[in-house]
Structure 1
C-alpha cells in the first residue's frame, strides 16, 4: 500500500514525533475537537503515551511540498478477528485547516482500512459541536449509530458524543 495522495503521505509515528505530539496536545484549539480532555500534558506524559501506542497503527500526516508534519491518524482499537476498527484523525497545524487536508487524509485512511486491511467496519466518535467533522463523515457514508447524551461539559455547556459507523459494503458502493 502506498500511503500517499498528490498532496500528502502517511508515515509511521516515530519517537522523534513526541515534541510535535506534545505541541498539538497542548494546543487547546487543536485538541478541543478530538479529545474530551483539555488538560495540558508534560513531555513525560506524551512519552508515556507514545510508549503505549508505538506498536499500533499510528501515522503522521505529512504535506508533500514542504515535508511538514500536519496531523495524525490512528486506528486505536484495531480488531482483526472481528474485522473492525475505530478511527482517530486530527489536523494539528491550524494553517492547514479548511483546505481539504482532513478530507484527503480521511479518504486515504478509509482506502487503507477497507482495501488493504480488508476490514468489515469502521467506527468513530464525534462531538456534537464539531459540525464540520460530522458533515465530512456523513459525506463518506458514516451513519449515526448512537449518541452519548450530554457526556461532557465544556465552555459552559453540556455536549453530546455521536457514535458513527461505516461498513465496507457502504463505502465501496459510494466510491
Structure 2
C-alpha cells in the first residue's frame, strides 16, 4: 500500500529529517498541544532517527513524515503519529503537526489523516483511531470533525497550560467495515 494521495506522501523518518525534527520538537508553541515539557537535543533526535522505523508491533508507535510535492519539488512539511498502539483491542492514538507554517490551512493535514486512516483500517486492521484535543484547540477539533471523527467524551481539567486547567475532548473514528 502506497501512502500517497494527490501530492501528499507519508514516509518513514530518515536521518535527513533531523533538522526539521529538532525545529518542530523544540517549538514551545507545539509543546502546548503535545504535552512536551523539555527540549530535545540534536543527539537524542539523531538517535531517534536511527530507531524510528522499528516495527509498530514492537515500538507501539509509528511516526511518518508528511511530504508535499509542488512543481516537482518535494518539501517535508510535517509529521503524523500513531501512538499507544494496542494490537489486542485494535486501536491507536493519532497526532499530527504541520510544522511548516507556509503549508497550514491548505488541506494537507486532512489528506494526511485520510492516508493514515486508510493504513490503519485497511492494512493493520484497526477497529478505531482516537485523539485527545484541548477544548480550546478549535483548529484541531475542526480538523478531526471534518474527517468524520466523533466527540465521544470530555475530560475536565486534563491539561495545565500556564496557570489554567483545560478540558480535553476525546474524539474517535470507528472502522465501520
TM value normalised by structure 2: 0.84
- Structure whose residues are more often strand by fraction: 2
Per-residue Cα deviation, 1:107-140 (whole angstroms, up to 9, x for no partner):
1111111122221111111121210110121222
Aligned-pair CA distance for 1:80: 2.5
- The residue that corresponds to 1:120 in the other structure is 127
Q: Does 1:11 align with 2:18?
A: no
Determine if contact 1:34/1:90 at 8 Å carries over to the other structure: no
Aligned pair partner of 2:141 in 134, 138, 153: 134
Partner Cα separation in structure 2 for residue 155 and residue 92 of structure 1 = 23
Q: Please, which runs of 5 or more residues in structure 2 have no aligned partner?
A: 57-61
Partner Cα separation in structure 2 for residue 168 and residue 91 of structure 1 = 25
Aligned pair partner of 2:87 in 80, 84, 96: 80
- The residue that corresponds to 1:26 in the other structure is 26
- The residue that corresponds to 2:97 in the other structure is 90
Q: Please, which moves more after superposition, 159-168 or 141-150?
A: 141-150
TM value normalised by structure 1: 0.84
Aligned-pair CA distance for 1:74: 1.6
- The residue that corresponds to 1:2 in the other structure is 2
Aligned-pair CA distance for 1:94: 0.7
Determine if contact 1:83/1:121 at 8 Å carries over to the other structure: yes
Q: Post-superposition, which runs of at least 4 consecutive aligned residues in structure 1 deviate over 6 A?
A: none
RMSD: 2.1
Per-residue Cα deviation, 1:117-172 (whole angstroms, up to 9, x for no partner):
22111111112121011012122222223223222232553212222111101xx6
Determine if contact 1:33/1:130 at 8 Å carries over to the other structure: no
Determine if contact 1:10/1:61 at 8 Å carries over to the other structure: yes
Per-residue Cα deviation, 1:5-53 (whole angstroms, up to 9, x for no partner):
1121011112332221111112223x14631235332213434554664
